Amino acid sequence: MAHIEVIEPEEATGRLKEIYDDLARKRGKIAEVHKIQSLNPESIVHHMDLYLTIMFGKSPLKRVQREMMGVVVSKANQCEYCITHHLEAVKHYWKDDALAHRFKEDYTKVDLSHINTALCNYAWELTIKPEIMQGEYALDSLRKAGLDDRAILDATLVVSYFNFVNRMVLALGVDLESNPGGYTY
């Protein structure tokens, strides 16, 4: 249960109603992570802009790689809301629920490509031990995996974004929807 006031879609008026209607039209429905921001409607718009840029924008990283990193960050932060949502996206791309479940439990026990392992390790380490990530040596494993600076920037943006959202979800008590799937990818 949310720890702050939330304006539900049926109670929304003005700009918030416009934002909710736009989200429902574009994404198929409104996520609880957006409703938690209802007291500051423009934050929803800017959040979605950031999300779409980082997760759907042009990048040397594949969409599924970004979703995998989101699951790893959320697992490190114990954010079940984001794990569930972004594991749904991983399942969408992998078409293998059992593999996705094993990935969620422990990505190190799944046979991933060298690049995907490096990205997931980076997501985990930057989340758990950000202080050790100072200096270029922290990026060596990504470079050795063949990632260029743009890919490294995008990986860092994904990790940073999920740490931001995980903290918002955990601090404000965002509950998982009864039917968390069904979004437009």
pLDDT at position 184 is 60
Residue from 127, 125, 128 nearest 137 by CA: 125
Residue bearing tokens 């930057």: 126
Sorted by sequence, the CB contacts under 8 Å of residue 115 that are 6+ apart come out as: 65, 145, 146, 147
pLDDT digits (tens, 9 = 90+) for 93-117: 999 999 999 999 999 999 999 999 9
Q: How many whole angstroms separate alpha carbon 7 and alpha carbon 132?
A: 40
Q: How many whole angstroms separate alpha carbon 180 and alpha carbon 177?
A: 5
Check residues 182 and 42 and name the one with the higher pLDDT: 42
pTM comes to 0.94
CA distances to 5, 17, 37, 180, 182 from 88, in Å: 28, 27, 23, 8, 9
Instruction: Tokens for 93, please give them.
Output: 């791309």
144, 118 Cβ separation under 8 angstroms: yes
pLDDT digits (tens, 9 = 90+) for 131-181: 888 777 789 999 999 999 999 999 999 999 999 999 999 999 999 988 776
pLDDT digits (tens, 9 = 90+) for 14-37: 999 999 999 999 988 899 999 999
pLDDT at 57 over 80: yes
Please report which residue ranges of the chain form alpha helices under DSSP H.
14-27, 32-35, 41-56, 63-76, 80-94, 97-105, 114-128, 140-144, 149-172
pLDDT at position 134 is 79
pLDDT at position 18 is 98
81, 32 Cβ separation under 8 angstroms: yes
pLDDT at position 133 is 82
Q: CATH homologous superfamily of domain 63-171? A: AhpD-like (1.20.1290.10)
